[in-house]
Structure 1
């Protein structure tokens, strides 16, 4: 896969800004004062080992669990205390870890759930768009989500998120457990969403090599804290990152 063209940092206020965020599970601190920015038009990647807190950050941005300290700002608005359903109405969509599609619903019905946030205003147009992006879904529109392969379920999870026409797309482990050919297709779609549609993407990914090649900027998380940041290229070439996340991982 070819490297993403490095984007100059967007001027002005970040689209998404996380400042001093601490999240707890009971008395256990999962996020230890996180500072992250995602500028408009960027792909920003967060890498780290299992259990580092990456998915917790994604869920905290969406309001569940709630940040106990710090602030989360989207498009200049403080969303730290907003309920999840209100955050979803602000042109933010999430494709969560583990896909979490509706297994008893058909592919078509799952996509309807994504479009409901916009009251189906552009449903047919967006359905055509996502099924062109993922032709396999077009073949399986009337098949139950739970009967799809893992790769097809991941395509459906991303397509469902796209049906809400997000300005910011949060992707949590989109390549997890998938065959290499499917991983390539998923990453190609992520690149296309950014380069052709100008979509801003915040990507949590264990496949550090491909994620860093794709990213304009990236962060490394270790046990609930950000330990490194830089451009995707800089982190690809960083000896610490190479030793911890890239050796043998290509």
Structure 2
């Protein structure tokens, strides 16, 4: 699939955002077509997580546009963005540690106007994708392992039945086996359900192998774009992100 074959589900145009006087995004352009997995890679501090958060309304864009399915959502409050079926699994997971696994998952469904049938179906699908959560439904989220918490964070986002899933550093701090399980789950969601995914990931090798297309961000700007396979073969990408460079 290519971004030009159909109208983009998400289109970002000349997007700028800042923290006080520090400009974190300096005019970003990015497109995601329906059913694509798009990866965003770059060094720490490049602006990747800021882009994710700006899509979700915090921080608010200073200038530029964020279009979702043709609708301008620039400046729309976060809770309204969630109701459009955009979901985020943030960096650091940010689960509710004192709540049970089941309660954490229901919080994801509460972000949208899901019917009871949709809630039940969503829970069944999440537990089929991450069977380990089935065994821990009554367990407090804070007692889970790091990998289980990441599964819970993604599962919570999926409970809203998103059209677009934003994943920020899903493999951070995880063992290689768990990382593979997480990436296999993302691939399954895309292939079986057609879920559109934007993923920010420190592990550029995994991300580029997973993604249909990818963007490289440096100092708040997109500096390179192409298919995942194309970027994997570029010597500057290999030197910076795949051969001992910073992810």
User: Normalising to structure 1: TM-score of the pair?
Assistant: 0.95
Q: Of 208, 217, 220, which residue of structure 1 is paired with 2:216?
A: 220
**Deviation per CA, 1:166-187, whole angstroms, max 9, x where unpaired?**
0110000000000000000000
Distance 1:13 1:105 in 2: 40
Map of 2:147 onto structure 1: 151
Map of 2:87 onto structure 1: 93
TM-superposed deviation, 1:115: 1.0
Q: Is 1:103 matched with 2:97?
A: yes
TM-superposed deviation, 1:12: 3.0
Alignment of 1:52-71 (within 5 A): 52-71=46-65
Q: Of 43, 50, 54, which residue of structure 1 is paired with 2:37?
A: 43
Distance 2:20 2:113 in 1: 35
Q: Is 1:118 matched with 2:120?
A: no
Aligned pairs, how many?
A: 244
Q: Is 1:197 matched with 2:190?
A: no
Distance 2:15 2:159 in 1: 29
**Deviation per CA, 1:107-162, whole angstroms, max 9, x where unpaired?**
00001101112344312221111111101100100011011111000000000000
TM-superposed deviation, 1:248: 4.0
Alignment of 1:183-194 (within 5 A): 183-194=179-190
Distance 1:171 1:98 in 2: 11
Structure 2: 5+ residue stretches without partners: none
Distance 2:115 2:134 in 1: 18
What secondary structure sits across from 2:172 in the alignment? coil
What secondary structure sits across from 1:37 in the alignment? strand
Distance 1:152 1:143 in 2: 11
Distance 1:198 1:228 in 2: 26
Map of 1:4 onto structure 2: none
What secondary structure sits across from 1:185 in the alignment? helix
- Asked whether the equivalents of residues 114 and 160 of structure 2 are also in contact (C-alpha less than 8 Å), the reply is no
TM-superposed deviation, 1:11: 2.3
Structure 1: 5+ residue stretches without partners: 1-6
User: Normalising to structure 2: TM-score of the pair?
Assistant: 0.96
Runs of 4+ aligned structure 1 residues displaced above 3 Å come to: none
